[in-house]
Amino acid sequence: MNNLLEIHHITKNYITDKEEIKAIKDITLQVHKGEILTLVGSSGCGKSSLLSILAGIDTATSGFFQFHKENPVIGYMLQNDALFPWLTIYQNALLGLKIQKKDTIENQEYVKELFKKYKLEEFMNKKPSELSGGMKQRVALIRTLAIKPDILLLDEPFSALDYQSRLAVSDDVFNIIKKENITTIMVSHDIAEAISMSDRIVVLSKRPCYVKKIYDIHLTNKKNPIENRKAPEFKDYYNQIWKDLDINV
C-alpha cells in the first residue's frame, strides 16, 4: 500500500502551571494515499492534540511524522466553521490562499468552480450569518479545499450540526473528498458516522492515548455514507468498536 504519511511514536505532554498532562502516550500510524481514516476514542483522549500536531499548530513532545511528499499542503477543519463574520462567503473561502500568497486569478477561478460545484454559488456574496449551519460547514470545506490540500484533517467537523444536517453534510463532504480524491484523517465521536464514512477506523485508548485497534471497513455495496449504514456488516463493526471503546454509561 502506498503511504502518504507515517507517524512514528508521537507523544504529547502538556505542561500547565500546576501539573503535566500526558495527552498522547504513543501514536504510530501509517496513513494510506486516498483513504479516509477515522480516529475514534473517548472524550479527552488526545485526538485533537494529534491533529493539531499534524497540522503544524502544535509540536509533539517526542516522536516525528513524515510525509511522502515534498512540501505537503495541509487542510485543517475544525468543529466550528470559524468563518469570519465581516467577510463574505467568497472572501472567507479565499482566506487560506491570501495567507499563503496564492490568491492568483487561476486559484480564484478554482474557488468559484467549487462554489458552483457544491451549489453555493448564489450565496457567494452573502455574509456567513445569512447561511444555515450546514451551508457554513460546506463553505468551511471549500475554504480548506481552496488551497488544494494533499491531506485533510477534520476534527469533528459535523458535531456542531443537528442530526439531520449532519447526515446530509457528512454525505456531501464524503462525496467531495472522494471526488477530489484527498487523503483524510477525521476525528469523530460518532461510531456510526465513522463506519459509514471511513476506509479504516483507528480506535484509540483512553488518555493518554495509544492505538488500540485498527479496522479495515469492508461493507457490501459500499457507496455513500447514508446507504452504507444499511450494509449487513455495519452492526458487527458497531458492536465491536463500542466494546473496544469501553464506554461506561
Ligand X SMILES: Nc1ncnc2c1ncn2[C@@H]1O[C@H](COP(=O)(O)OP(=O)(O)OP(=O)(O)O)[C@@H](O)[C@H]1O
Please give the residue ranges that form the binding site for Mg ion (CB under 5 A): 48
Return the SS3 of 64.
strand
Task: Please tell me the distance from the alpha carbon of residue 226 to that of residue 170, in angstroms, as a whole number.
Answer: 9
Burial class (CB in 10 A: 0-12, 13-18, 19+), 216: exposed
At its nearest, how many Å lie between ligand X and the CB of residue 122? 34
Cα separation, 102 vs 112, in Å, equals 15
Burial state string for 109-145 with b = 16 or more CB within 10 A and e = fewer than 16? eebeebbeebebeebbeebbeebebbbbbbbbbbbbb
Supply the minimum distance, in Å, between the C-beta of residue 49 and Mg ion: 8
C-beta of 114 vs 191, nearer to ligand X:
191
Of residues 121-160, those binding other proteins (CB under 8 A): 147
Residue 158 C-beta: closest distance to ligand X, Å? 13
Selection from ligand X, Mg ion, other proteins, none that 45 binds (CB < 5 to 8 A by kind) is: ligand X
Nearest approach in angstroms of CB 196 to ligand X is: 19
N residues, the chain: 249
Q: How far is the CB of 56 from other proteins (least distance, A)?
A: 7
C-alpha cell at 119: 451549489
Asked if 79 touches other proteins (CB under 8 A), the answer is: yes
Shortest spacing between CB 213 and ligand X, in angstroms: 16
**CB 80, CB 158: distance < 8 Å:** no
Closest CB to ligand X among residues 89, 187: 187
- Residues 168, 110, 74, 191: what is their CA dihedral angle, to the nearest 10 degrees? 10
Interface with other proteins, residue 98, by CB under 8 A = yes
In sequence order, the 6+-apart residues with CB closer than 8 A to the CB of 163 are none
Among 95, 168, 211, 219, binds other proteins (CB under 8 A): 95
Within residues 219-248, the interface with other proteins by CB under 8 A covers: none
Q: Which residues bind ligand X (CB under 6 A)?
A: 14, 16, 21, 23, 41, 43-49, 189, 207
Binding stretches for other proteins (CB under 8 A): 52, 55-57, 74-76, 78-80, 82, 84, 86, 95-96, 98-100, 147
